[in-house]
Each structure stands twice: as C-alpha cells, then as structure tokens.
Structure 1
C-alpha cells in the first residue's frame, strides 16, 4: 500500500478484475486498496468490438476489484489508438472455496 503514496495527486491507470481500465487522477486510497479517482475515463476492452471509452468524472474503485495500479504517460496515451485494441476477457481472479 505504501507504494501508492507516490501516485497521490498524479494521473494513474488502474486495471480491474473485470478487465476494465480506468485512467484518472488518484486522489486517495485506504488500507483495503479502495481508490478514489477524479477526472477519470473508463475503457472496456472486448475481443469482438473496439474499445469502448467513456468519461465518468469521479469514481471509487473497490480494492477487491483492483488488479494493478500504474503510472500514466500522456505522450504514450496520445499516440495509442485504443479503437484498434482488442482483448480477451480476463480469467476469474477469485479463488473459489472448496
């Protein structure tokens, strides 16, 4: 968790367990990795259709859904055409109880 401290106040990318990618400013987080983003965009990837993108403003993402948090590079974002990126759904990330 202490690794997130350096990202507070900065733009980040967050990948969730259902395969969505959120891009926005990290405003805060807690001990459960619940994160708060502002000025955010959600990208939903599919293997059958081009990437869907929508501006959602502020969002709270539950820590259980966070797979990874990474830095954001504006130059790379400008040069990436997400409409040409297709992706398979992520496998289930939860371990079932037996």
Structure 2
C-alpha cells in the first residue's frame, strides 16, 4: 500500500467513516485499524440498505472487517450532518456492483 493511502487512513482511525464496497454495500462505523493490504476493522458498524420504494434500512453489524480488495471508497463521515437526515424518508436505488 502506498504511503499516501496509509497516511490518509491513519488520519481516520477512531473516527466515523463510510465504506462503499465493490458489491455496492454501504457500511458506516468507527475505523479501529487497518493493515498493509487495506483491510479495515470497523466497530459499532451498520449497513445502510437503500431502496427506491422504502426508507433506508439500517442493519447492525457491530465489529466488522472489510477486505481491502473489496473497498471501492472510504471516507470520513460527518455524524452531526447525518443526524439532520431522516433516513426513513430517503429513497434511492441501491448502488450497483462494480463491473471490471
């Protein structure tokens, strides 16, 4: 893993992050650690399941490991801004799986 990525992830440790996986899953949790292959460990995590017909379903995952080769995007998550959103009113198509 490049030093730039390692440095960026180090800044996110003990902060809330949002992870989008290759198969379109959206997981929110506190980044507790990572390794040289970008596998990440999240605590207090939940998966957000989006639907065009219903509000966002939040599925508790607890401590969760995401393989680095399955991560499409990871970034810091603004908890305060998120609290302002009523997820039961959000309608969105699920993210499609990444096609290579």
TM-score normalised by L of structure 1? 0.83
Between 85-94 and 60-69, report the one with greater CA deviation.
Answer: 85-94
Q: What are structure 2's unaligned runs of at least 5 residues?
A: none
Shift in alpha-carbon separation, 1:32–1:7, aligned structure 2, 3 A:
same
CA distance, structure 2, for counterparts of residue 25 and residue 89 of structure 1: 23
| Runs of 4+ in structure 1 over 4 Å off | none
Shift in alpha-carbon separation, 1:88–1:10, aligned structure 2, 3 A:
same
CA distance, structure 1, for counterparts of residue 42 and residue 52 of structure 2: 27
CA distance, structure 1, for counterparts of residue 94 and residue 22 of structure 2: 10
1:39-67 deviation line (CA, Å, top 9, x unaligned): 11111112233211022210001112211
The CA deviation at 1:17 is: 2.3
Alignment correspondent of 1:38? 43
What is the root-mean-square deviation of aligned Cα atoms in Å?
A: 1.6
Q: What are structure 1's unaligned runs of at least 5 residues?
A: none
Alignment coverage as a number of residue pairs: 95
TM-score normalised by L of structure 2? 0.81
What is the 5 A alignment of 1:1-98?
1-2=5-6, 3-95=8-100
The CA deviation at 1:20 is: 2.1
